A = this chain, B = another copy of it.
Amino acid sequence: MMDEFEFIDSITQKYYRQSSVIKGIGDDAAILRHSYHDLVTAVDTMVDGVHFSKETVPPFYIGYRTLAANISDMAAMGAVPTSYMISLVVPKDYSNHELQAIYQGMDQLSRQYHMDLIGGDTVTGDQLVVSVTIHGVVDKDKARLRSHARDGDIVFVTGTLGDSRFGLGLLLDEYKRQPYNDQLDKIDRDFFIHRHQQPTPRVDFARDLTPLQRVALNDVSDGIASEANEIAKASQVTLIIDDDQVPVHPDMNILPDELIHDYKYSGGEDFELLGTVSTQDFPFVVEIARKHHLPLCQIGYVKDAEHTNQRVYLKQHDTLKRLKKTGYTHKN
């Protein structure tokens, strides 16, 4: 492995795209100047063997996906990503080529968003760990919090759900002993694999919602069962989700019903946005989605929590069951 100094030199940008970067890589810390916006920041860590494996995700896509997950956090706040810092724990047997590939995966995505790499840390360890700290900006008091859902809101979601999990299954050849295995030739495999390896954070869509006073947003990292429960808890409301309206890609229908349920509610890592907005503002949300050619579905509504306190219910065949954060449904 090349030493840390060489690696830092090799990834230091020749110029910074963002005027807010006063000092990037090359000192004890980076300096950012945001006088007119709020700064939004998050950290996301991925571990080899836990969040990805070299068999299903080549190094380039490890970088790409880790940064995409972070950018998705910015989208979920209604923020525009501006810069990031990488912290890598690298096993001794990891080659320079692989290390550079991780970086290149991040670099490709960061160029697309005009982001700057402003710092980082590379250390040796037993297991590959990729941790990214991201920064973004949002207009003052326009951040999209989980706590912003209100009684009567429409619950919506972008894109289709469970695609990333199905893509992983295809990469791992998980269905080879299943009766539906022979139908896998007929589906759009590349679509699902692309959704797993190169997810697209919904930054542009979220940014264009800025004129709205209030939107609750959460990105689909763990699965909408988990994200919907987070909104319910933070906003102290109840969410009712109509199973028939939750969007899945038509090719997913070759899978058994239980697997579809599992993938769409807790597959996760689709990096779509789950949100709530007033009925009055919903047409504007639909219009913005259309502008970005982004599928958007109304999947339910919000009501005051009362005694049923901060829960998510799933309407399925005219019965209402509790949807727990794991994706399991429960009678009460």
Residues of A within 8 A of B (CB): 22-23, 26-36, 38-47, 49-51, 73-74, 76-77, 79, 85, 87, 89, 118-121, 123-127, 129, 131, 133-136, 138, 140, 143, 145-147, 217-219, 234
Contact = CB atoms under 8 A, between A and B. Distances in A.
A138 B146 CA distance: 31
Contacts of A217: 28
27 contacts: A22-B143, A26-B146, A28-B146, A28-B219, A29-B41, A29-B42, A29-B74, A29-B79, A30-B40, A31-B138, A31-B143, A32-B41, A33-B38, A34-B34, A35-B35, A42-B119, A43-B85, A43-B133, A45-B87, A45-B89, A45-B131, A47-B123, A49-B126, A87-B131, A89-B129, A125-B127, A126-B127
A27 B87 contact: no
A27 B145 CA distance: 7
Chain A contact residues: helix, strand, loop or mixed:
strand
B35 A29 contact: no
A31 to B, nearest CB: 5
A214 to B, nearest CB: 15
Nearest to A48: B125
A160 to B, nearest CB: 21
Contact of A44 (B26, B76, B121): B121
Given A27-B234, A123-B51, A140-B33, A43 B87 contact: yes
- Copy total for this chain: 2
B44 A40 contact: no
A26 B233 CA distance: 10
A256 B85 CA distance: 41
A126 B87 CA distance: 17
Contacts of A23: 143, 145
A42 B133 CA distance: 9
**Top 5 closest A-B pairs, CB basis?**
A29-B42, A28-B76, A28-B73, A47-B125, A133-B133
Contacts of A131: 43, 45, 87, 121, 131
A34 to B, nearest CB: 7
A216 B175 CA distance: 61
B126 A28 contact: no
A126 B123 contact: no
Contact of A133 (B33, B85, B123): B85
B73 A29 contact: yes
A30 B47 contact: no
